[in-house]
Structure 1
C-alpha cells in the first residue's frame, strides 16, 4: 500500500543547541552537525522492528522542535527516508544491518533549486534573503553532492523511474 515517508528534516537540532556550526552569521543548516543522526536511525530502526516510532515535529521556520508524533508503518510496504542528510544516514543504516536500497533522484539542479525556493517561500521556512543565499549554495554544491551519493552506493534514477520502482 505505498511508501511511508520518514522526513529526515524532522531530526534537525534546535537553533540554540550548543556548538552548532555557523556560516555567514547564521547556523549552517546544511552541515550534518546540525542534524540528529542517532535519533533518525533510532526512529528508522523502531519502524522496521516495532512498526512504529516517536519522531520529532520540527518547525524549520522556528528552527526548533515543536513537539513529537508517532509514525506507524501500518499497511505500508516501504519506508522512504528522505532529506538532505540521507547520504549521512546510509553508513549508519548499513552498520546497523538494516535493509536499504539507496536511490538518488537525479534531477536538473536548476529545477531542484526552483522547486526548493518555491516550497520554502510558500512555507515561510526562513527569510527570503536566507532562502536565496542557501538556495544558491545548494545549487552550487549539488554536482559534488551527487558524486558523493553515487560513490556511496546510491543509484541515480529520474523521478519517473524512481516512482515506478517504488510502486512495484
Structure 2
C-alpha cells in the first residue's frame, strides 16, 4: 500500500474497523451505534479491472481481498480522520461497477465506523498512521450467517439466485477460516454485544487515540 501523506493535518478523529464474514451483521450493527459509517464495500474494483482475481471454476472471486482497492479505502479513512470529510465511490454490486460518488462528512464526530469484509486488511496501515481506535470481527454461527446473507442478497438482487446459492455454500464452508484470517490480521473476534461495548468505550474521550486495545 502507498504511504499516507505527511502533508495532511493531524488526526482529529479515529476509526473503528468492523469486519466479519459476509452476512455477519456488520452494517446493522454499525447503524445501531449512531456513528458515521464508511461502507468499505464501495471500494470494490470495477468488473473490467484486469487485476480482479478469478475463481478456479470461472468468474470473479469477489471474496478475495484482491478484488478490492485497499489503497483508496485507506486514503478515504485518512482524509476522514484528518479533515472530517472524504469523497467516496458509490458501488452497485448487482452490476459490479461504480455508479457515482458521494461526500461523507463526519459532522464533527471524533469517532466513526468503517465496515466491510476486507476491513481487517487495512488494520496495519491505519494503526501505523495513528488512526485506529479499535478493530473488531463479528462472529456467529455459520448457518445463521448463511441464512442471513442469502436472504439479504436475494432481496437486494445482488447477483443471480444460482450464483448467490453457490457463493453462500462456499462461504459457509470457509467461514471459520475467514474469521481466523481476519483475527490474524489484528481484529478482535466477538459477538454483537461485546462489539457494541467496545465501540462505546472507544468513543469515550480518554479512549479516542489510545489505539487498539488488547
Q: What is the TM-score with the length of structure 1 in the denominator?
A: 0.92
Alignment partner of 1:10: what SS? helix
Task: Say which structure, 1 or 2, has more relative contact order (CA 8 Å, 6+ apart).
Answer: 2
Q: Deviations over 1:5-61 (max 9, x none)?
A: 111100001101113111122111011111110110011001100000000000000
Which residue number in structure 1 is paired with residue 54 of structure 2? 22
- Pick from 90, 114, 120 the counterpart of residue 81 of structure 1: 114
For 1:126-141, list aligned pairs within 5 A: 126-141=159-174
Counterpart contact for 1:57–1:67, Cα < 8 Å = yes
Distance 1:95 1:65 in 2: 29
Query: How far apart, in 1, do the equivalents of 2:121 and 2:188 lie?
Result: 15
Alpha carbon RMSD of aligned pairs, Å? 1.6
Determine if contact 1:121/1:128 at 8 Å carries over to the other structure: yes
CA shift for structure 1 position 75? 4.3
Question: Does the CA-based 8 Å contact 1:52-1:72 persist in structure 2?
Answer: yes
Cα deviation code 1:50-83 (max 9, x no counterpart): 0000000000001000000000111434211111
Q: Which runs of 5+ in 2 are unaligned?
A: 1-32, 202-214
Question: Which of the residues 105, 112, 115 maps onto 2:145?
Answer: 112
Compute the displacement of 1:111 (Å). Answer: 1.0
Aligned residues: 168
* Deviation by residue 1:87-119 (Cα, 9 ceiling, x = unmatched): 211122123332231111121111111111111
Question: SS at the partner of 1:29?
Answer: coil
Q: Assess if the C-alpha contact under 8 Å between 1:3 and 1:77 holds in 2.
A: no
List alignment gaps of at least 5 residues for structure 1. Answer: none
* CA distance in 1 between partners of 2:170 and 2:120 (Å): 18
Structure 1 residue ranges, 4+ long, deviating more than 3 angstroms after superposition: none
